[in-house]
Structure 1
């Protein structure tokens, strides 16, 4: 599956303006973003990209005077870029995330090895970092876990290392589906099942904990499905959206399905939030 890299450049841009633009790009299927010296790069599946939507979006942000360039990124080039930019990461002084070409650091309680593939979820993005922080703060012993929008399966793998009994990892991207299988093997995780699909792929079973790091619009569409398979008293962690206006929208929608907001984390304007399913 090929991706497009859209390189955005700006004369001047405030951080909040960049955050708002990125949120809008995520709403039209852009999946990940990397800062550059003059702006940022945004990546989108070639099959989902519509330049007319991009032009319309930029018209709403015309004060930024954004310029953009579109380049195709095939898998081979993506992997080379991924390797060159992937540095090891430490989460909460407990979890060390590295690639296969980095040296191990056994002094950390948890180590996760991610093999570079054309998929997302290395822990470097703010949303993944916050979700991993939540996992490190939460008891997972014996838990049945659903990881939606799993990407590299980094969240499911950490849940397994934290004692989860079983993990179902789901992603609609075939590369991510395959990456999850390979990364589970790399980390000696044998209780993670990777499924290819979206909400229709969720098994007809119940889960103690659900992890969903996607984006606001997909979450709003899928929250009802999550609630239907979450055990009463179970926990659900959301990320992939902004504090304003997204968090209030997520909270309001969750309340319709018995999911009660507890708290949230924030890095820059990105948010991860914890909810629980109220006793019926």
Structure 2
């Protein structure tokens, strides 16, 4: 079963636009591993069992661009060791890196306790990993399979001005399973994105070429790029950025941005945007939770 999961992870990494249903199904019936930093296990110990209400540290990676937290999840113990070795990681004094094994399907619900959680990264080696965003992890936590095809979103801001001097590139993208190919817009100067980022798309304003799409992550890069060229008011940019993150259901990244705003004395700005988001997305518990934590900090 380990070999099957590793094969499916590698196939998803090599062919990010192909169906992931076999991978999702195998994840729900395979054991997975997390990396933790804890007190050394005595030589005579074989394992350490966590109790239901126990909290424990896990190793995470912070997105340097958007601030969200990505949790590496491993299909085998050897992959955990490879991850530590490849990054030349050293534990703090009195601690050591340990792998934590989890029964099939249980790792996904654990992610509810990760602050600013953006998603998990299935890790085989430094050249092979697959990202599953929060929206897919949430479905897997319920024991269900995420739907095929990219997540589709409408433009989350009232307008976006693309710099006229910027060079645009077009590619093709599958907007629906077995459907026609759509046009994928990219502004190379704004930033780069991974192929699996095209599994989350935003519809751009239509033009003479018909419907045009952009990877949601790249849209956020374009917002930042346009702001830098226009010397725009930073407050307007952060308004658009936070509104876009919420509109794309990138709640971990939105939570990280709220923390950034609060740290700079802009709590009212974050509160105002979150209140507007609650009105627009009343059924989304993630937004209500962020607003509640903002209003009643621990």
TM-score range, shorter chain: 0.3 to 0.5
TM-score using structure 1 length: 0.33
TM-score by length of 2: 0.32
The structure in which a higher percent of residues are strand is: 1
Higher relative contact order (CA 8 A, sep 6+): 2
